[in-house]
Structure 1
Amino acid sequence: MLIDPFLTEISRHIWDSKYRFRDGSAVHDRTVDDSWRRIARSLASVEKSDWARWENHFYSVLRDFRFLPGGRIQAGAGTGRRVTLFNCFVMGTIEDSMDGIFDGLKEGALTMQQGGGVGYDFSTLRPRGATAKSVGTVASGPVSFMQIWDAMCGTLLSTGARRGAMMATLRCDHPDIEAFIDAKRDSQVLRRFNLSVLVTDAFMEAVHRDQDWALVFPAEDGIPAGSDTAKRQWSGRSEPVRCRVYRRLRARELWDKLMRATYEYAEPGVLFLDRINQQNNLWYREQISATNPCGEIPLPPYGACNLGSINLTAFVHDPFTDGARLDLDAIRKTAAVATRMMDNVIDASLFPLDKQAAQARGTRHIGLGLTGLADTLIMLGLHYADEAARELASQAMQAICHTAYRTSVGLAEEKGAFPFFEREKFLQGKFIQTLPGDIQDGIARFGLRNSHLTAIAPTGTISLLANNVSSGLEPVYEFNYVRRVLELDGSYTEHKLTDYALRLWRERHGDDALPAAFVDTHALAPAAHLAMQAALQPHVDNSISKTINVPRDYRFEDFKEIYERAYDMGLKGCTTFRPNPVTGEILRGETGQETGPHCCTVEREAD
């Protein structure tokens, strides 16, 4: 007899409202075990043989929340519905014309209607006030067109479609960058977007040297006589293009404006664009300028990725004892099965657009990561800010990464490498060259089934599903708190929650004093967040969704240093949250204290 895996009411509620398969009054998943069987059977069905064997393997890692596939997989696999199993999409390059803009809007609507979250780079749209000579009109700028996307997303929500999640990016040298930075100062504007600025190495150098910075745009309609020009690599272009310089300002002035915005209302975030492209496994064929809504998957136009996370808490033996340990061998076995399972998602999924299908099948891009890290550290007696905790976290992520790559080599031998694989160029990739020799040798011999394999997602909803384990690599926000949850009818309900590790401690030790490892985000300096992100980044070929929580009274000058240190530490991006009146709250401590949510809360991630 299967023991009920739900230890909390919120977990059962998440399953019942978001992932349980039902058609109207007809309930197909009587229990969560039925959901696991449905998912396992569906993803095993794409195998050429041994379906029953693979179904059992897939089921074994799903049981008891050991492996948590992305929400679209859990909700859609095996239902027969015309939905995508992919969480994450980056849409095509937006052509700077009315036709191009509204084609992009339509594609985004079709993608979100099927449950995908979308990312857009708006840098291709000419700045406000620029004239289009061909029709004699004056451009309104990218921020104004973003409002149309925002309205479209809201309209889709009103039809009962999956809630929308969108990311908008803009280059740091676009003439409208200041308007983009200020866009969400108004609490009613662009609420369905996450915003991130694409920051280049050249800009960071200009900031450090206190130099002027040129705001430019490609010279599509010619350049007036005497105008200043510059050559820049630009979104949607494979080679640097001649740009008109609209104006110059001090780089530090623009940087301070960006820092002040994210200090005061938590957006925009920062993406280090050149680093993302330099570290991209497909550096030889892709120019990336956008990410999925939560930032952990940088993708080219029409790129797509499915996600899954290994729940580390399920692999802790003898928690809260001197003999507590993390079973890395079991994690490796789970990662191997999960990699094959996620690869099968690509063949089992539908896609909103043919171009998305072609890109996904050409790269076979997946993102396997971890969740429950903070609770795992607590159960092992490790303080989140200590070097020993970072070392353990690094070992776990390395085990996942190297296993995923070795499994993908084996899948390439069995089923073939991803179609866009070019052996010699791929092996020159900066990330690939950091992998162990046996993996590089395997890639050289057999190729690789998947262009990318690892990512650390926010896992907001699926972590709640797994009995409220801590999300992703984040510290515990609060051990006891109230969370507002969005219901199917658009209303909110409030749930009182207890963190997984604290509940387990109370079951075993009652009201005994908590060990020092029980630390939440309020007790951690921003440096501890950065250090954990930096410890895991070397084992992540995509990126990491991470929010650095900052106290309300944190000095602005110290706040700026967080982003500068993130750049110096080799990270691909940085996002912070400081309590503020604009962003509001999703989490609330039992005492009523305001608690910073992740930049992409359960309401804003395409779970």
Structure 2
Amino acid sequence: MQLSTSPAQTQAAPLASKPAAAEAETSSYSDYKVIRRNGAVVGFEPGKISVALTKAFLAVNGGQGAASARVRELVEGLTKQVVHALVRRQPTGGTVHIEDIQDQVELALMRSGEHDVARAYVLYREKRAQQRALMHTEPNQPVLHATENGLRIPLDPQHLQAIIVAACSGLEEFASAETIFKETVKNLYDGVSTDEIFKSAILAARSQLEKDPAYSTVTARLLLHTIRKEVLGEEVEQAAMATHYATYFPQFIARGIEGGLLDPELASFDLARLAAALDHSRDLQFSYLGLQTLYDRYFLHIKGTRIELPQAFFMRVAMGLAIEEAERETRAIEFYNILSSFDFMSSTPTLFNAGTLHSQLSSCYLTTVDDSLEGIYDAIKENALLAKYAGGLGNDWTPVRALRSHIKGTNGESQGVVPFLKVVNDTAVAVNQGGKRKGAVCTYLETWHLDIEEFLELRKNTGDERRRTHDMNTANWIPDLFMKRVMENGEWTLFSPSDCPDLHDKVGKAFEQAYLGYEAQVASGELKLFKKIPAINLWRKMLSMLFETGHPWITFKDPCNIRSPQQHVGVVHSSNLCTEITLNTNATEIAVCNLGSVNLVAHLKTNDDGSVSLDHDKLRRTIGVAMRMLDNVIDINYYAVDKAKNSNSRHRPVGMGIMGFQDALHIMRTPYASDAAVVFADQSMEAVCYYAYLASTELAEERGRYSSFENSLWDRGILPQDSIELLRQERGGYVEVDQSAAMDWSSLRERIKQHGMRNSNCIAIAPTATISNIIGVSACIEPTYQNLYVKSNLSGEFTIVNDYLVRDLKKLGLWDEVMVADLKYFDGSLAKIDRVPAELRKLYATAFEVEPRWLVECAARRQKWIDQSQSLNIYMAGASGKKLDETYKLAWQRGLKTTYYLRTLGATSAEKSTGRGGELNAVSMGSSNAGSSAAGSHLPEPEIVGAVCTMKPGDPGFEECEACQ
């Protein structure tokens, strides 16, 4: 590998030899090759990068200065940065051009603050380029050959260019085919494989993402070309897929069945009719992140070779969901249309497994653990079985007796809950969802449990490791009485459930009465095992642990139960992994929920006056079809545990959610931090819930009501918004919720009374961590994380640019390299970029710029209509004890049922210097995400304090809710 070095390359230097560390690493990069300027291909040797860096220091500092220990360490660190940046773009190996390596060396020097050295290096590169041009030393481009199946064939540049031009079709205003072609050819060499040619084109398009988000679509289309070749065994142009899908689709079904992947029943469908319904043009709507995610994790494969194309994938899922329908083809086409058009998307387990031999389609499972050794290990076994096929778990451990409680059978003392939770944690790690994703479980404990203080510390990084659970999520299950004691500065008493087992099943006033009775027993000396503590002290510890570790999450027992439509047949003892499911559990029932989300962006319309609003007609149609799909899952689903099957068949709950809320606000030109956003949250959720409840009662008319409907809140004419009054009565105040309505709920209430409901529960807003990536919209109800950042997930790293912002800035002539550099420097925020109009800075405010009260207020308006709950992340810049206290008290007073992660900025990222030198490309070394990226690419995301301190949105550990979505 030939690197241009500094003018001092003739100087003798003790550092010019290859460092030992680099020597050792060289053998690790045998899958990587470097293309020289003359087209020759040589091995990738990181040691030569060290040499080039050392000579650059020699040019500026001289031999003595370059030989210092500081420079040695700096060169070693910079070499690692450069290598990491190059390798992570192509984690499985590939080729890189010499110019790309030099770009990375230059960038590493700038980021390190060695501006004099970087300047010398840049000037030398420019001088050498001019010399080559003057002396014509740059060789003519040789005739290149490609290699395929062992044969050398002349590379056809016209064919390659035509593919790139086709990928840019309709996007010519934003994306340059010529730029992509030139960058692609630069990275080719004689004898390159055809696979490498298209990989080079993908990387070339991907490298332009910062210039315009349209390049994401172009990259996806180039990726699609390679996927078609892999699946079909030959290159097929996109235009030809209009007819090619018809012949391919029946072959795909046959091959999947033969390979032991698909349910043989799929062969009995009218495959010709279904194939004719496939719309090849919908292949072109993917973003790069969306299609790469599908390719890596969802498309079926045999021995590593994909057999599934995008439209076949959506139809396979649709067929799996329609398999028990009377008019299977009609319903399958109906289901296919809302999936492939991105109007609605089923959750990840459904997309993984629909139509396959293992039809585990449900997302969430909630269990209650019995207070016996047999019950505890049965629960752990059930966790393993449910997690095997991608289920997210919520465990209620409140019944298990506390530390030092008496064990009658052995006349000994219990070790409490914590030792068993260590086993739960390790089981989640061991059973990693069939090898596809990290296992995910959340443990809930009520606030009166005597082990609560140790429970709060489970995620700490200090202390006895035998009593720590670093891979398991935890959540507080908080009764209203505790919150009232906090508000009134009262005392709180902790008990063992073995002494007061009825507290577990009591809510509201009944809980309060029983709790006061046990406190009286403590006062009289009848009850010996207890602990008294000021309620405010325990509340502060909850918030402190939440800030420090990200856990346990804050969830509220009484709103979940008092507002539950199913309170007549049981108790909600916990939420799920992602805090949006609120279903009953007991010793004989494991609650199950099936998820899917409506894309709000696809249900907006532009009115005659230019304003944007919800398209109610389309929304009703989509939700009607989607509710049918979700209801079908209940009957088709594979149940690893009978308690889950019995519960799901009896109550038939589903959880429809939304995604694209932030995108919808952008389209409507509405800042998240505004009263208008709160109103839209209210009106959009009212419409979604109205049509979901309507669809469920229509299904009940067709298929029959769920078996436990009688005496439910539905049956009593109490709809979710009506149940707010029940909460107010039970709580005795502290409920401040807007109760306005805009739609005709009276007629719906009467219809439900007449026909019943097909589903005990209908609505739950899950995080949509992955499915929103697939369709290319903002996750669920989340604010914009950053306007420019790198998203990391199991498929790699992806540049994410806010395309709405880019379009606005381009109209103003403000989108250029300087703006990109500023956005990197300011962590994707516009707040300190003064040349951007204030209106746009407010509209495109990022998550940490939006005061958390706005997140709570929007959530409160949604919660009014929702019969379950919502995954509500709280973003907080400059977190303090006071701010945490105010935010979570507000959430309780606004009637929220649950909250999810607390996300706070680390101090190292909260403020940046206003200096304007090379700092534009500087990395905050205090950030746990510090590191370089692709040439001129991006800065890491800001540090997140707590359980997510080393992760980014999309990381498996950051969004455990990928288990749901």
* TM-score, scaled relative to structure 1: 0.90
Instruction: Decide whether aligned partners of structure 1 residues 130 and 471 sit closer, same or farther in structure 2, where only a CA change above 3 A counts.
Output: same
Q: Which amino acid aligns with 1:437?
A: S
1:571 aligns with 2:893: no
Alignment partner of 1:383 out of 667, 671, 680: 671
In structure 2, what is the equivalent of residue 38 of structure 1?
316
Q: Which amino acid aligns with 2:565?
A: N
Give the 5 Å matches for 1:137-286. 137-157=412-432, 160=435, 162-186=437-461, 189-219=468-498, 233-234=503-504, 244=527, 245-286=529-570
Q: Could you tell me the percent identity over the aligned residues?
A: 27
Q: Matches of 1:146 and 1:580 in 2, distance apart?
A: 29
Q: Please say if residues 423 and 447 of structure 1, whose CA atoms lie closer than 8 Å, have aligned partners that are also in contact.
A: no
Query: Are positions 1:560 and 2:879 aligned together?
Result: no
Q: Is the 8 A contact 2:790 2:800 kept in 1?
A: yes
How far the C-alpha of 1:537 sits from its partner, in A, is 0.9
The 3-state SS of whatever aligns with 1:531 is helix
Matched AA of 1:106? K
Which residue is 1:300 aligned to?
A: 584
Post-superposition Cα deviations, 1:203-239, rounded to whole Å, max 9, x if no partner, equal 111111211111012346xxxxxxxxx7852159999
Whole-Å separation in 1 of the counterparts to 2:439 and 2:445: 20
1:337-386 Cα distance to aligned partner (Å, 9 max, x none): 11111111111211111110111111110011110100110111111111
> Does the aligned pair in 2 maintain the 1:37–1:59 contact within 8 Å?
yes
The residue type paired with residue 476 of structure 1 is T
Mapped to 2, the partners of 1:161 and 1:128 lie a distance apart of 37
- 1:85 matched to 2:361? The reply is yes
1:338 to 626, 639, 644: 626
- Tell me how far 1:430 sits from its aligned partner: 4.7
1:601 maps to 2:958: yes
The residue that corresponds to 1:455 in the other structure is 764
Matches of 1:217 and 1:141 in 2, distance apart?
Answer: 9
Letter in 1 for 2:958: T
Unaligned runs of 5+ in 1: 221-229, 488-492
Deviation larger for 307-316 or 406-415 = 307-316
* CA distance in structure 2 between the partners assigned to 1:64 and 1:586 by the alignment: 38
1:298 Cα offset (Å) = 1.5
> Given that residues 167 and 196 in structure 1 are in contact (C-alpha distance below 8 angstroms), is that contact kept between their aligned partners in structure 2?
yes
Residues 369 and 397 in structure 1, CA contact (< 8 A), matched pair in contact too: no
* Bigger Cα displacement from structure 2, 410-419 vs 130-139: 130-139
Name which of structure 1's ranges 593-602 and 406-415 shifts more when overlaid on structure 2.
593-602
Aligned to 2:861: 535
* C-alpha distance in 1 between matches for 2:879 and 2:498: 43
Equivalent residue, structure 2, for 1:412: 700
Cα offset for 1:568?
Answer: 0.8
Question: What is the identity, as a one-letter code, of the residue corresponding to 2:597?
Answer: S
Cα distance per residue 1:410-449 (max 9 Å; x no partner): 1111100011111565433754463812222112111110
Question: For 2:789, which of 456, 481, 488 is the aligned residue?
Answer: 481
| Stretch deviating more after TM superposition (308-317 or 239-248) | 239-248
- Structure 1 CA distance for aligned equivalents of residues 849 and 584 of structure 2: 38
The whole-number CA distance in structure 2 between the counterparts of 1:73 and 1:347 is 13
Structure 1 residues 459, 509: closer, same or farther in 2, change over 3 A? farther
CA contact (8 A) 2:678 2:854 kept: no
Instruction: Report the counterpart of residue 122 of structure 1 in structure 2.
Output: 397
Distance in 2 of aligned mates of 1:294 and 1:561: 23
1:583/1:194 Cα in 2 relative to 1: closer, same or farther (>3 Å)? farther
Are 2:373 and 1:75 equivalent residues in the alignment? no
Tell me which residue corresponds to 1:226: none
Deviations 1:519-542 (A, max 9, x none): 211221111111111121112111
Structure 2 equivalent of residue 353 of structure 1: 641
Please tell me whether the aligned partners of residues 203 and 213 of structure 1 are also in contact (alpha carbons under 8 angstroms): yes
Contact 1:164-1:604 at 8 Å conserved across structures = no
Alignment CA distance shift 1:465-1:161 (3 Å)? closer
Q: For the structure 1 residues 200 and 441, does the alpha-carbon distance in structure 2 shift closer, same or farther, using more than 3 Å as the test?
A: same
Letter in 1 for 2:876: V
What is aligned with 1:495? 798
Residue pair 1:21, 1:79 contacting (<8 A) in 2 also: no
Q: Hey, what does 1:64 align to over in structure 2?
A: 341
* Equivalent-residue separation in structure 1 for 2:316 and 2:295 (angstroms): 15
Q: C-alpha distance in 2, partners of 1:340/1:558?
A: 43
1:396 maps to 684
Superposition deviation, residue 84 in structure 1: 1.1
* Letter of the 2:579 counterpart: G
Match of 1:224 in 2: none
Pairwise CA distance, 1:580: 5.1
Distance 2:448 2:558 in 1: 14
Give per-residue Cα distances to partners, 1:311-336, cap 9 Å, x unaligned: 112233459x9444432321221111
Alignment CA distance shift 1:332-1:508 (3 Å)? farther
Which protein has the bigger helix share?
2
CA distance in structure 2 between the partners assigned to 1:378 and 1:396 by the alignment: 15
Greater mean alpha carbon deviation, residues 177-186 or residues 514-523: 514-523
SS at 2:457 equivalent: helix
Post-superposition Cα deviations, 1:459-492, rounded to whole Å, max 9, x if no partner, equal 011111112x1111110111211122135xxxxx
My pick for the range that moved more, 588-597 or 264-273, is 588-597
Gaps of 5+ in 2: 1-241, 243-279, 519-526, 723-743, 816-835, 908-925, 945-951
Deviation per CA, 1:560-597: give whole Å up to 9, x if none. Answer: 11011111111112342223599977999943341546
Counterpart of 1:197 in structure 2: which amino acid?
A: N
TM-score by length of 2: 0.57
3-state SS in 2 of match to 1:130: strand
Structure 1 residues 267 and 34, CA, compared in 2 at 3 Å: closer, same or farther?
Answer: same
Contact 1:263 1:556 in 2 (8 A): no
> Given residue 170 of structure 1, which amino acid in structure 2 is its aligned partner?
L
State the AA in 2 paired with 1:327: D
The 3 A distance-change label for structure 1 pair 411 and 526 is same
Which segment drifts farther, 118-127 or 421-430? 421-430
**Partner letter of residue 401 of structure 2?**
R
Indicate the SS of the match to 2:402: coil
Q: Report the 3-state secondary structure (helix = DSSP H, G, I; strand = E; otherwise coil) of the residue aligned with 2:879.
A: coil
1:14 partnered with 2:293: yes
Secondary structure (helix, strand or coil) at the match of 2:751 reads: helix
Judge conservation of contact 1:5–1:64 (CA < 8 Å) in 2.
Answer: no
Structure 1 residues 505 and 345: alpha-carbon distance in aligned structure 2, compared to 1, 3 A threshold? farther
Could you tell me which of 353, 365, 374 is aligned with 1:99? Answer: 374
RMSD in angstroms over aligned alpha carbons?
2.9
Work out which structure has the larger RCO, using CA pairs closer than 8 Å and 6 or more positions apart in sequence. 1
- Match of residue 225 from structure 1: none
Q: Quick check: 173-182 or 572-581, which moved more?
A: 572-581
Q: Which residue of the partner structure matches residue 258 of structure 2? A: none
